[in-house]
Chains A and B, each alone.
Chain A
Amino acid sequence: MHMHKFEKAWLTFGIGSLLVFLTVLGVSAFYLGNQPPSCLATIDPEKVDTTAPFNEPGLKKVEGKDWDYELVYVASAFSYSPAEVEVPYGAKVKIIATTKDVVHGFEVAGSNINMMLEPGYISEHVTTFDKTGEYLIVCNEYCGVGHHMMSSKIKVVE
């Protein structure tokens, strides 16, 4: 099987570029810790309201952890609890969320916070809120007739 020398050059360049992409992603994910949300913890979806930390949704200051705050969300058709929250500028926050019924999305528009909420699973994401402003949280996975009404708000304030 014969391959033209230009095709060899092209494939070398193309595969080389893909390798560079993968290396950048791999270093960022495994060395700098920028993994996509992949929490392995589970929960009984029928008992969300009585299971900590979901029995008290909202922002809480924590001590002795890698992050300063924990921000807990409970999603259900077609709302998030809490519906609005204020986060201090520059705070390092662990967002912890789950759903009581069907699959929902949890996307903070204009940020990298974007995760699936699935019944029985807990989703987590750690980030530092280093820009002030008002951010809209939207459900980005179809969950029923009120899907497009499902939202919440994060205000990052000085």
Chain B
Amino acid sequence: MAKTELSRKTKTEIEDSSSLKGTLASVFLLGFFLIITWVGVYSLFISRF
């Protein structure tokens, strides 16, 4: 019982130390910024004659 817990804990730590979830979140924030900028200027284009 204790052994399984220990090994699970180690495994979580290893996963965490090589995780790139922060990177994934960062690039998606960047992606949303690109989309907002583009949509913003596109709506300006649509609204003008």
Contact = CB atoms under 8 A, between A and B. Distances in A.
Q: Report if A and B touch in the complex (beta carbons < 8 A).
A: yes
A129 B27 CA distance: 41
Interface in B23-45: 23-24, 27-28, 31, 34-35, 38, 42, 45
Contacts, number: 31
B3 interface: no
A112 interface: yes
Sorting the interface of chain B by its residue count into under 10, 10 to 19, 20 to 34 or 35 or more gives 10 to 19
Contact of A112 (B20, B34, B48): B48
A111 B49 contact: yes
Contacts of A61: none
A131 interface: yes
Interface in A127-158: 127-131
A14 B31 contact: yes
Interface residue tally on A, bucketed by range = 10 to 19
Interface of A: 4, 6, 9-10, 13-14, 17, 21, 24, 110-113, 127-131
Top-9 shortest CB links A-B? A6-B24, A10-B27, A112-B48, A127-B49, A6-B20, A111-B48, A130-B49, A111-B49, A13-B31
Interface of B: 20-21, 23-24, 27-28, 31, 34-35, 38, 42, 45, 48-49
